[in-house]
């Protein structure tokens, strides 16, 4: 009986660990991007030497890819466990905090995999803070009001330029 209760509690903790940012209205829940989608967008842009932010970087898969492609990666993650794994994995600057409060003025490329309502809120921040010419890559969902410069429907990835 104690064993069943322990397994149930562990399962609930694991599910909450993935879902909590969405449940409390801070952003998207955890899921992982398709590596092929991110790679397609980064090749299209040419990220070598560019500063690439991943807002809500999870465990760092996209940042590790950006680094392998010669970019200067920067992560922002609100969940402390994901933040720690990402920082150890990527060996780059990873901010533990809220992406809505992180300045983006030095970004050349911003990568997101969030949620439609979150993308709409981020769009306002992008218009306010990103320099002209900076790119926004969104996996899965559109970002309203930005200029679309490339889209891969098979990989569900959107590339915008400010």
Ligand X SMILES: C[S@@+](CC[C@H](N)C(=O)[O-])C[C@H]1O[C@@H](n2cnc3c(N)ncnc32)[C@H](O)[C@@H]1O
CB of 146 to ligand X, least distance (A): 18
Out of 50, 51, 67, 82, point to the residue binding ligand X (CB under 6 A).
82
Q: Is 158 in the site for ligand X (CB under 6 A)?
A: no
Tell which positions 34-53 bind ligand X, by CB under 6 A: none
Number of residues that bind ligand X (CB under 6 A): 24
Q: How far apart, in Å, are the Cα atoms of 119 and each of 20, 72, 151?
A: 18, 23, 16
Nearer to ligand X, 54 or 108 (CB): 54
Out of 50, 51, 53, 79, point to the residue binding ligand X (CB under 6 A).
79
Q: Under the phi-then-psi rule, with left for phi > 0, alpha for psi from -120 to 50, and beta for the rest, what region is 29?
A: beta
CB of 48 to ligand X, least distance (A): 20
Please work out, in degrees rounded to the nearest 5, the angle formed at the alpha carbon of residue 127 by the alpha carbons of 108 and 95: 55
Out of 45, 52, 53, 54, point to the residue binding ligand X (CB under 6 A).
54
For 52, the 3-state DSSP assignment is: strand
Beta bridge partners of 148: 160
């Amino acid at each position: 009986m104690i064993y069943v209760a322990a397994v149930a509690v562990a399962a609930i903790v694991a599910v909450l660990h993935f879902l909590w940012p969405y449940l409390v209205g801070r952003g998207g829940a955890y899921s992982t991007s398709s590596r092929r989608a991110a790679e397609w967008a980064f090749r299209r842009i040419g990220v070598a030497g560019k500063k690439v932010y991943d807002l809500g970087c999870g465990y760092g898969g996209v940042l590790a890819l950006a680094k392998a492609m010669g970019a200067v990666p920067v992560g922002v993650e609100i969940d402390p466990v994901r933040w720690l794994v990402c920082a150890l994995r990527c060996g780059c600057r990873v901010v533990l905090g809220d992406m809505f409060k992180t300045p983006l003025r030095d970004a050349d490329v911003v990568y997101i995999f969030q949620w439609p309502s979150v993308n709409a809120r981020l769009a306002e921040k992008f218009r306010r803070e990103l320099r002209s010419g900076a790119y926004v890559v969104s996996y899965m969902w559109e970002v309203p009001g930005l200029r679309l410069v490339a889209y891969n429907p098979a990989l569900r990835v959107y590339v915008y330029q400010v």
